[in-house]
Structures are given as structure tokens and as C-alpha cells.
Chains A and B, each alone.
Chain A
């Protein structure tokens, strides 16, 4: 793209942005789509960090008493994830 075209494209992009903003009450489809997406995907932050970092033995994953005995053993865990991923993996096997 040459400089004249770039300048034209740029100023019309900025003009478009201004009018998209001005049309906030009746936005173009692309903005509506984005807003709909945004509306559909509220992020919930369940707990504040104070609750997480609270230095309370019982607050964690295990109670202190339970964990102290196993502290030096790395916690063993199942080698295959058990959860929703299995459902997606089904789809994967189909596609491969």
C-alpha cells in the first residue's frame, strides 16, 4: 500500500472508530457482536486474595494434621486426567 492510500485508509479507520463510538446506542453489528460476547462471558472472581492467603491451616486443600504426615511424599496422582477432557478426547479420536 502506498503512503497516500495508507493515509486515506487510516483517516477513514479513525473516522469509522469515532462514528462507531458515537453510535453507542445503536452500534454496528461488529460492535454488537462483541458486546454480546462480552455479556456472555462474565468472569467471576470467587474469592478475594485475602481469603486465599489467609494463614489458616484449615483453609488449604488439606488440614494440617492430615498433611504433616505426608509432607515429604510427593502426592501421588492419577496418571490419566479424569474429567471433562475425556469427553473432548472422544472427539479427538474421531478426527484423527
Chain B
């Protein structure tokens, strides 16, 4: 007699990995065969995860059509079971999967659109947290300012893109066929900063060096050191914009 834990593990393997021999031996056929019973759960599992992907990646779906999307989503689901019951966290690897997905090879920008949608979903679902008030930094002396090491606000995502994914995404979302037709989908390496704001989702395109600089700030490189590495006049201005737009998190011990 298997323990409940063994039954559950066999059931999970039968559903998530279609490794069903053990589970089938534990299922009583009654009207519907054991395999048919298990497949009801497996189909629900798969279609639930495909539906979760559809919600995170609507522009990808619209770009390729519902059938192609499902044809890509099902093998992804088969290879990547969710790590959490919170399905807003499911699907982070889909962009990487699409990049390697041979049938989508004709659409080199597809993975970048998926990266953008994942960043947007993560930013939208991020926990609330106070932003760093630039006034707190202004109170420090110059040496302390140079030594300050900041963290990105949880609702901010910075992604490196090879294609003009934001323009594609926007045209697809707005069903703007003229904009789509006019799009030049050639590679255009840049960074995109995605931020949830009180009034919606903000996107800020950053040139490569600007994105590199921002990525260093987000990794906690000290402000003085980051500005030494990036000597151009645009970088202090960009830092000011990030600070003014609340793109850094307030320190944990902050009383704000």
C-alpha cells in the first residue's frame, strides 16, 4: 500500500511529466479508464499553464496567432513545471525557449517581445515598496554620496534587447497595422527600463552605454565609482532622472 506522499508524487509525475505508469496502477477505472482519468487532470494542468502564459504574453500570441502560440506553449509547459502555485511567477523562461524554438526562427524579434512582456508582468506584480527619496541622498556629504550603493525599486526591470521590441509590442497591442507595416525589425541593441508607476506602466529606452551604467547602479556599484567608469555628461543627468522617478528602493532601515 503506497503512502499518500507516494501517491501524490506518482500523480504529479503522471501529470507534469507524462510519466504515468506508476500512477495508473493506483487509479481505479470506473466507467472511464485509468489513463483517461489521469489525462483529465493532465489536460487541465497543461491548459491552465498555457492560459497563464497567454495572460503574460498577449502580444506574442497576437504576433504568431493562437495555434502557433499553443504549439510553442505546450512543449514549454512540458519541459518546465511551475516552481510555485502563484502563476504570475510562471513563464519567466518562455522568452529563452522561444529564442531556441526552431519553428519561430523566422521571427528573431519574438523572444525580445516576450522578454518585454515578462518584464512588464513582473513590474506590474511587484510588491509595493517606498522609493528612495533623493532628499535623503542630498543630506549626505560628498564622500558619503560617492560611497552610496543603491538597489533598484522592486517595480523596476531593466532588460537588454536586440530588437525594437517596444515598438513592435505597442503596435501589436494597439492593433496598429500601419505602424506594424512601417516597423523596421532589424537588430537595434538597446536597453529598456520598465517601471510600474501610479499612473500605469512606464517604459524608458536606454542607449547601450546608458543601460550599462544603469545596470551597474542596480547591481549596487557605488555612485562615485559608476560615474568614474562612465565619464560622459549624460550619466549624471540619467542618475538624476532615475532618482527623481523613484527607480531606486529606499534603504530597509529608512523610516519613510
Which residues of A are in contact with B by a Cβ distance under 8 Å? 1, 3, 6-7, 9-18, 20-21, 30-31, 34-35, 37-39, 41-43, 45-47, 49, 52-53, 55-57, 59-62, 64, 67-68, 71-72, 74-85, 87-92, 95
Contacts and interface: CB of A to CB of B under 8 A. Distances in A.
Interface stretch (B4-12, B21-29, B237-245): B237-245
Nearest to A81: B64
A14 B40 contact: no
A62 B51 CA distance: 11
Contacts of A84: 62-63, 172, 177, 180
Contact of B197 (A38, A45, A49, A87): A38
Contact of B40 (A9, A64, A95): A64
B117 to A, nearest CB: 9
Nearest to B104: A81
A43 B51 CA distance: 18
B134 interface: yes
B177 A87 contact: yes
Given A38-B197, A43-B124, A90 B87 contact: no
B42 A39 contact: no
A78 to B, nearest CB: 6
Interface in B43-90: 43-44, 46-48, 50-52, 55, 62-65, 67-68, 70-72, 74-75, 85-88
Contact of B181 (A16, A56, A87): A87
B183 interface: yes
Contacts of B36: 68
Nearest to B243: A17
B55 to A, nearest CB: 6
Contacts of B172: 84
A53 B51 CA distance: 9
A56 B40 CA distance: 10
B43 A62 contact: yes
A48 B84 CA distance: 16
15 contacts: A3-B224, A17-B242, A31-B241, A31-B244, A37-B204, A41-B201, A49-B88, A61-B50, A77-B70, A78-B65, A78-B68, A81-B106, A87-B180, A88-B181, A88-B183
B110 interface: yes
B137 A14 contact: yes
A1 B51 contact: no
Task: Rank and list the top 3 A-B pairs by shortest CB-CB distance, nearest first.
Answer: A77-B71, A60-B47, A38-B202
Contact of A35 (B48, B63, B88, B199): B199
Interface in B102-146: 103-104, 106-107, 109-110, 120-121, 124-125, 133-135, 137-138, 142-143, 145-146
A12 to B, nearest CB: 7
A49 B196 CA distance: 19
B39 A13 contact: no
Given A6-B146, A52-B55, A95 B245 contact: no
